[in-house]
Structure 1
Amino acid sequence: MSSFRASKKVERTRKKKTLPIGIIRYSSKVVAVEDLGYFKLVHLADGTTIKTKVLIGCDGVNSLVAKLQHTRRPAMRGSADFKANHGFGSKFLQFFGKGFRSGFLPCDDTTTYWFFSWIPSDQGNEQALNFVRIIIKELKDNPAKMKQLVLSNLVNVPDQVRSFVEITELYIDSFMLSPLRYRHPWGVLWGNISRGNACVAGDALHPMTPDIGQGGCSALEDGVVLARCLAEALNEKVSAETKDKDKEEYKRIAKKCAKERRWKTKPSSLVLTRGINSNIMELVEEVVIVGAGIAGLATSLGLHRLGIRSLVLESSAGLRVTGFALSTWTNAWRALDAVGVGHSLRQQHGFLDGLVASSTVVSKPGKQISFKVKGTIGDHEVRCVRRKLLLEALEKELPDDTIRYSSKVVSIEESGYLKLVHLADDTIIKTKVLIGCDGVNSVVARFIGFKKPAFAGRSAIRGYADFKVNHGFGSKFLQLGGKGVRSGFLPCDDTTIYWFFTYFPTGQDKELEDNPTEMKQFVLSKLGNVAEHVRTSVELTELDSITSSPLRFRHPWEVLWGNISKGNVTVAGDALHPMTPDIGQGGCAALEDGVVLARCLAEALKKELNVEGKEREREEYKRVEMGLKKYAAERRWRSFELISTAYIVGAIQQSDGKIMNILRDTILAKFLAGLLLKKADFDCGKLNIS
Structure 2
Amino acid sequence: MARAIVVGGGIGGLTAGIALRQCGWEVTVVERAAVLEPVGAGIAIAANALKALDTVGLGDQVRRLSRIQGVAGVRRFDGRWLTRTTEDVAAARYGDSVVVLLRARLVEILLDRLDPDVLQLGRTVQHVDPERGRVMTDAGDLDGDLIVGADGIGSLTRSLAFPGHPGPEYAGVTAWRTVVPWQGEPVRATETWGGRGRVFGVIPLAADLVYLYATDGVPAGLRADDERAELLRAFGDWHEPIPTLLAATDPAAVLRNDVYSLRAPLPAMHRGRVALLGDAAHPMTPNLGQGGCQAIEDAVVLAHVAGEGAGRVDLPAYTAARLARATALVRRSWRVCRLTRLRHPVALGLRDGLLTAGSWLFPDLLLRSMDDVLGWTPPGVPPRGPA
CA contact (8 A) 1:302 1:339 kept: yes
Query: For residue 654 of structure 1, what is the aligned residue in structure 2?
Result: 341
Cα distance per residue 1:312-358 (max 9 Å; x no partner)? 01111122544311111110110111111122222233244442311
- 2:16 alignment partner AA: T
1:334 corresponds to which residue?
51
* Alignment partners' CA distance in 2, 1:376 and 1:446: 42
Structure 1 residues 77-476: aligned runs within 5 Å: 286-319=3-36, 321-360=38-77, 364-373=80-89, 378-413=94-129, 418-423=132-137, 425-449=138-162, 450-467=165-182, 469-473=183-187, 476=188
1:356-405 deviation per Cα after TM superposition (whole angstroms, max 9, x unaligned): 311115x6445322232368973231121211111111111111101100
Deviations 1:6-36 (A, max 9, x none): xxxxxxxxxxxxxxxxxxxxxxxxxxxxxxx
Whether 2:268 is the aligned partner of 1:563: answer yes
Assess if the C-alpha contact under 8 Å between 1:359 and 1:480 holds in 2.
yes
C-alpha distance in 2 between matches for 1:687 and 1:373: 22
Describe how 1:606-621 pairs up with structure 2 within 5 A.
606=310, 620=311
Cα deviations across residues 13-68 of structure 1 (Å, max 9, x unaligned)? xxxxxxxxxxxxxxxxxxxxxxxxxxxxxxxxx8xxxxxxxxxxxxxxxxxxxxxx
Cα drift, residue 304 of structure 1: 1.5
Following superposition, the deviation at residue 413 of structure 1 comes to: 3.1
Cα root mean square deviation, aligned = 2.5
In structure 2, do the counterparts of structure 1 residues 529 and 580 end up closer, same or farther at CA, with 3 Å as the change threshold?
Answer: same
Aligned to 1:537: 245
Unaligned runs of 5+ in 1: 1-45, 47-284, 607-619
Alpha carbons of 1:307 and 1:470: their partners in 2 closer, same or farther (altered >3 Å)? Answer: farther
TM-score by length of 2: 0.88
Code of the residue aligned with 1:681 in structure 2: it is G
> Aligned to 1:401, what secondary structure does the other structure show?
helix
Q: Distance in 2 between matches of 1:687 and 1:677?
A: 17
Match of 1:167 in 2: none
Amino acid at match of 1:306: C
Q: Which has the higher contact order (CA 8 A, sep 6+)?
A: 2
Asked if structure 2 preserves the Cα contact closer than 8 Å seen for 1:373 and 1:380, the reply is no
Rate the CA distance shift 1:445–1:435 in 2: closer, same or farther, 3 A. Answer: same
Higher Rg of the two aligned structures: 1
Tell me if the contact between 1:440 and 1:578 (Cα under 8 Å) persists in the aligned partners.
yes
Alpha-carbon shift at residue 499 of structure 1 (Å): 1.1
Counterparts of 1:513-528 in structure 2 under 5 Å? 515=225, 518-528=226-236
Instruction: Give 1:595 deviation, angstroms.
Output: 0.6
Deviation larger for 477-486 or 365-374:
365-374
Change in Cα spacing, 1:544 to 1:677, as seen in structure 2 (3 Å) is farther
| CA shift digits 1:516-567 (9 cap, x unpaired) | xx21011112115434432222222223421111111112x524xx121111
- Deviation of the 1:676 alpha carbon: 4.5
Equivalent position amino acid for 1:413 in 2 = D
Match of 1:551 among 259, 268, 272: 259
CA pair 678-565 structure 1, distance change in 2 beyond 3 A: closer
Distance 1:441 1:365 in 2: 37
CA contact (8 A) 1:419 1:434 kept: yes
Say whether residues 1:501 and 2:184 are aligned partners.
no
Q: Distance in 1 between matches of 2:121 and 2:323?
A: 30
Q: Evaluate the alpha carbon distance shift between residue 663 and residue 369 of structure 1 in structure 2; reply closer, same or farther with a 3 A threshold.
A: farther
What residue identity is the alignment partner of 2:211? Answer: Y
Structure 1 ranges of 4+ moved more than 4 A: 374-377, 669-672
- Say which SS state the counterpart of residue 145 (structure 2) adopts: strand
- 1:312 and 1:294 map into 2 onto residues whose CA distance is 12
Equivalent-residue separation in structure 2 for 1:686 and 1:544 (angstroms): 45
Query: Deviation per CA, 1:149-186, whole angstroms, max 9, x where unpaired?
Result: xxxxxxxxxxxxxxxxxxxxxxxxxxxxxxxxxxxxxx
Q: How many matched pairs?
A: 372
Call closer, same or farther: CA 1:497–1:443 in 2, change over 3 Å.
same
Name the SS for the 1:372 alignment partner: helix
The gaps in structure 2 that reach 5 residues or longer are: 360-364, 383-387
Q: CA deviation at 1:482?
A: 1.4
Shift of 1:686: 4.9
Partner letter of residue 649 of structure 1? V
Letter in 2 for 1:683: T
